[in-house]
Amino acid sequence: MDKLADFLKHYSFSAHMFFSGKLCISESFEEGDGCGYLHLILHGTMTVHSPAHPPLLITEPSLLFYPRPTNHRFVFNDVVSNADLVCASLDLGGDSGNPLAKALPVMLVIPLSNLSSLSTTLELIFFEALQVHSAHQAAIDRLFEYLLIQLLRHVINNNQSSIGLMAGLADKRLSLALTAMHSDPRRNWSLEVLARTAGMSRARFSVHFREVLGITPGNYLAIWRIGIAQTLLRKGKPVGCVADEVGYGSAAAFSRAFKMITGHTAKEWSKASLDYESPI
């Protein structure tokens, strides 16, 4: 069972390293570009300020991860302070409806000493960041994308979310049902079948699913299907074909579900999306 495979299959993500080196003055990172951020702090002491969380003092080599666009600022407490950093912007496909991107915590800070499973990738990033090689930018961007996959594994395996999709994927029983829905959205998933897949009674599965993910299994399945549909519509597929691919028996039923979740009909959303991506 691969808990992440279908997210990576249906949603694209990318990383771009934009800074490496020594930082000795306060620096702000804005949410206006629509990207998240991943900072690797190799050396130095600083305070991170953001409207999203209380001031955060960093005193040891750490990974600082903002999955979604979030204003934050690095502040040094005295004039002799500085830090060695490697920073990348991230697009996890949240604008495309990726529920994984939306389910991650607002911010994660993890000492590098606690990320032994990522150590080889971190070493390669530092090697590329500190020396200029052929295809330097492409190599380090790909390494950051691989680091992101490893980080998602780390979050799931260490159950770092108490509620929501990440907590569901970390749950041994619920993850079976979630992965089944992710891998086969066309199937007519009844509550009984999902409960059986998770090895639970129907009543217990329904209660436990809602306790952990915060929504019903039926609502989650609809959100997953419509998210995939948005990806397919963005590629120019007709509504009728998309409806069948994501498990709706008719274009009318699909459009009702699409409007319930997005606030727009599938045709309206598809036209607006294509017009935005290909302006005249």
CB 7 within 8 A of CB 100: yes
CB 51 within 8 A of CB 96: no
Check whether domain 5-157 has CATH 2.60.120.280, yes or no: yes
What is the SS3 assignment for 42?
strand
CB 177 within 8 A of CB 171: no
Per DSSP, 119 falls in state H
> Domains of the chain: which residue ranges?
5-157, 173-277
What is the distance, to the nearest Å, from the Cα of residue 37 to the centroid of all Cα atoms in its chain?
12
Angle ∠(18,35,274) on CA atoms, nearest 5: 120
Cα separation, 15 vs 40, in Å, equals: 14
Cα separation, 41 vs 5, in Å, equals: 29
Q: Which helix (H) or strand (E) holds 189?
A: none
pLDDT in single tens digits along all 280 residues of the chain: 789 999 888 888 899 999 998 887 889 998 867 789 999 999 889 999 999 999 999 999 999 999 999 999 999 876 667 789 999 999 987 766 788 888 888 999 999 999 999 999 999 999 888 877 788 899 999 999 999 999 999 988 887 666 889 999 999 999 999 999 999 999 999 999 999 999 999 999 999 999 999 999 999 999 999 999 988 888 888 888 899 999 998 888 888 899 999 898 888 887 777 655 544 3
173-277, CATH topology level: Arc Repressor Mutant, subunit A (1.10.10)
